[in-house]
Amino acid sequence: MAETLNSQQKETLIKFRDELRTEGIVGESDSWGTDDDCLIRFLRARKFNIKAAKTMFKKCSEWRRTIGGVGIDQLYTEIDPWDAKRKEVFKKWPIWFHKTDKKGRPINIQTLGEIDIPGLHKAVEPERHWHTIVVNQEALTREVIPCCTKRFGQSISGALCILDLKGFGLSQFWGMKGIARESLQLTQDYYPETMGQLLILNAPTSFTAIWSVIKTWIAKETADKIDILGSDYQEILLKHVDADNLPSSLGGNCKCEGGCEWSNAGPWLKGRQHRRKLLYTGDLVPARTETEYILKHQDFGEESTSSDEEFFDAKS
């Protein structure tokens, strides 16, 4: 990602890193927050204002140490972002990664019309559900984006997010408003600049009221990355995603065995079972260690053929 910076921004990056170390915000033995990609995301989120980026980074660093009472590294070990428990709650909150767009960015899909918060919290404790949201976001920077970067040989910094609102109404929005706001805040505060673009499909007429609420939660820069589309979205969507990478449910050609929503198909599956086992043995903790392993050692010579069963059985 550093190759995309101009000379002044590169100087700012160097100064930012030096100040983080000088002020003890990042220690010599720390692994998170030492690589260019991570630091650049915080700088971009604060328009390369070092003081503001430093405040944001410090807050995030503290959150990573304390989330769930155990810290993000331990939480990520305890909760596989796609563990078997996900199957129990999936129909209540469908969300999955599926292949990549034309820029090599991972595609994240949510079908909000099927959300059922009361049913969800009968299947899983609210705190557990929140921690699952957290580790899914962590997976994006820890595994998914690095795998795309390595697979395509170019710096990938964010995801293409697709929100399908078919069947979604005001009653569902009010039921999930709290979680939605917390999720957006999570991304903005602790995983900045990871949403490359958001396409909202099948937006109902009631979405005008919903959008008026959501806009108050997000920064203008985030809002500028959002495109709101109706039911005639296919032409625009196919400008971003090849038909073969798009699920048939969204007008594409892809029909993964067992359903695209279950496959999690993409470069991140390549070697993941092995990486997960290394994580359980403590060989890939903390986050930067796992990312470095992907960038240095993961072979993407062939597309992943890992099965869904293999993916969910990584702990065995």
Each residue's pLDDT tens digit, 57-112? 999 999 999 999 999 999 998 888 876 566 777 778 888 899 999 999 999 999 99
Instruction: Read off the CATH number of the domain in which 46 is found.
Output: 1.10.8.20
Q: Are residues 53 and 170 in the same domain?
A: no
- Distance between CA atoms of 48 and 12, rounded to whole angstroms? 7
User: Which of 269, 295, 310 is the endpoint of a domain?
Assistant: 269
Residue 94 counted as domain residue: yes
pLDDT value of position 22: 94
User: Which of 19, 41, 67 is the endpoint of a domain?
Assistant: 67
> Is pLDDT of 145 > 90?
yes
Torsion of CA 178, 183, 185, 190, to 10 degrees: 150
pLDDT value of position 81: 82
Residue 302 counted as domain residue: no
Q: Are residues 14 and 43 in the same domain?
A: yes
Q: Are residues 99 and 47 in the same domain?
A: no
198: β partners: 161, 226
Q: Are residues 166 and 229 in the same domain?
A: yes
**Structural domain count of the chain:** 2
- Distance between CA atoms of 148 and 127, rounded to whole angstroms? 30
Q: Which two tokens stand for residue 90?
A: 């999936």
- Distance between CA atoms of 32 and 19, rounded to whole angstroms? 16
pLDDT value of position 287: 60
Q: Are residues 153 and 211 in the same domain?
A: yes
Residue 313 counted as domain residue: no
pLDDT value of position 191: 96
What mean pLDDT is predicted for residues 226-251? 96
Q: Are residues 137 and 242 in the same domain?
A: yes
User: Which of 67, 91, 114 is the endpoint of a domain?
Assistant: 67
pLDDT value of position 21: 93
- Distance between CA atoms of 215 and 224, rounded to whole angstroms? 10
Q: Are residues 218 and 258 in the same domain?
A: yes
**Residue matched to tokens 């919290």:** 121
pLDDT in tens, 175-198: 889 999 999 999 999 999 999 999
Amino acid letter for position 242: D
Instruction: Read off the CATH number of the domain in which 177 is found.
Output: 3.40.525.10
Q: Are residues 60 and 203 in the same domain?
A: no
Q: Look at 2-6, 76-80, 157-161, 227-231 and tell me which has the smallest mean pLDDT.
A: 2-6
Q: What is the DSSP string of the chain?
A: -GGGS-HHHHHHHHHHHHHHHHTTSS-TT--TT-SHHHHHHHHHHTTT-HHHHHHHHHHHHHHHHHGGGT-HHHHHHHS-TT-THHHHHGGGS-EEEEEE-TTSPEEEEEEGGG--HHHHHHHS-HHHHHHHHHHHHHHIIIIIHHHHHHHHTS----EEEEEE-TT--HHHHHHHHHHHHHHHHHHHHHSTT-EEEEEEES--TTHHHHHHHHTTTS-HHHHTTEEE--S--HHHHHHHS-GGGSBGGGTSSB--TT-HHHH--SGGGTTHHHHHHHHHTTTT-SHHHHHHHHHHH---SS-----HHHHHTTT-
pLDDT value of position 212: 92
Q: Are residues 57 and 84 in the same domain?
A: no
pLDDT in tens, 282-313: 776 666 677 877 888 778 765 444 433 443 34
What mean pLDDT is predicted for residues 142-147? 93
Q: Look at 13-17, 171-175, 242-246 and tell me which has the smallest mean pLDDT.
A: 171-175
Residue 58 counted as domain residue: yes
pLDDT value of position 286: 61
232: β partners: none
Cβ–Cβ < 8 Å for 78, 137: no
pLDDT value of position 201: 97
- Distance between CA atoms of 123 and 126, rounded to whole angstroms? 9
The 3 state secondary structure assigned to 110-134 is EEHHHCCHHHHHHHCCHHHHHHHHH
Residue 224 counted as domain residue: yes
- Please give the residue that has the higher pLDDT: either 13 or 280: 13
Residue 316 counted as domain residue: no
Q: Are residues 126 and 219 in the same domain?
A: yes
pTM of the model: 0.88
Q: Are residues 35 and 156 in the same domain?
A: no
pLDDT value of position 284: 65
Please, what is the average pLDDT of the chain? 87
Q: Are residues 61 and 105 in the same domain?
A: no
> Is pLDDT of 270 > 70?
yes
Residue 204 counted as domain residue: yes
pLDDT band at 44 (very low <50, low <70, confident <90, very high): very high
Look up the domain containing 261 and give its range: 76-269
Residue 240 counted as domain residue: yes
